[in-house]
Amino acid sequence: MQFFGGSEISPSPPVPTTTGNNAHMMYVFNRNGVCLLYREWNRPLHTLNPQQDHKLMFGLLFSLKSLTAKMDPTSADKGNLGVPQLPGQGCSFHSFRTNTYKLSFMETPSGIKIILVTHPRTGDLREPLKYIYNLYVEYVAKNPLYTPGTSIR
């Protein structure tokens, strides 16, 4: 599956780059934490083995989601921190940025989470993430040979 091979991605504003290949890594998780897809294009530093890396990423996002929902100043009713939330309920964060990378995240009500790690000056990636979700639907959900919950080849 080659979506970042060229710069053809999406209807949203163009990503600022010279070569067109802007992403570092991509993860797709399902609601049970199973990493369905992991692709890397530019990752100089590997610190963990893949299993731990996936768990770390999923755990990070799960906690961030909980935390952001709890700290939401506009929502009226909040449970205690750590109470499990329905996917998509409450506010959900969509990206964070450090000085070396930007991580963009999208979650669907069905629990599919798509994560893209890119160059820090990348613009808002919500449209491309939706586009990736549409591709997921077309090729994965509709594929009769794919068992839901296993990783994508």
Partner 1 sequence: MAPAAPRSGDAIFASVERVNAELFTLTYGAIVRQLLTDLEEVEEVNKQLDQMGYNIGIRLIDEFLAKSNVSRCVDFKETAEVIAKVGFKMFLGVTASVTNWDADGTCCSIVLEDNPLVDFVELPDTCQGLYYCNILSGVIRGSLEMVSMKTEVTWIRDMLRGDDAYELQVKLLKQVPEEYPYKDDE
Q: Of the candidates 19, 49, 80, 84, which one interacts with partner 1 according to CB under 8 A?
A: 84
Segment contacting partner 1 by CB under 8 A, of 17-25, 79-87, 97-105, 114-122? 79-87
Segment contacting partner 1 by CB under 8 A, of 1-9, 20-28, 96-104, 106-114? 106-114
By CB under 8 A, residue 119 contacts partner 1: no
> d(Cα 130, Cα 142) in Å, to the nearest integer?
17
Q: DSSP labels for 4-45?
A: SSSS---SSPPP--SSS--EEEEEEE-TTS-EEEEEES----
* Element at 63 (helix H, strand E): helix 50-70
- Provide the binding-site residues for partner 1, judged by CB under 8 A: 12-13, 31-33, 55, 58-59, 62, 83-89, 108-112, 124, 126-127, 130, 133-134, 136-137, 141-142, 148
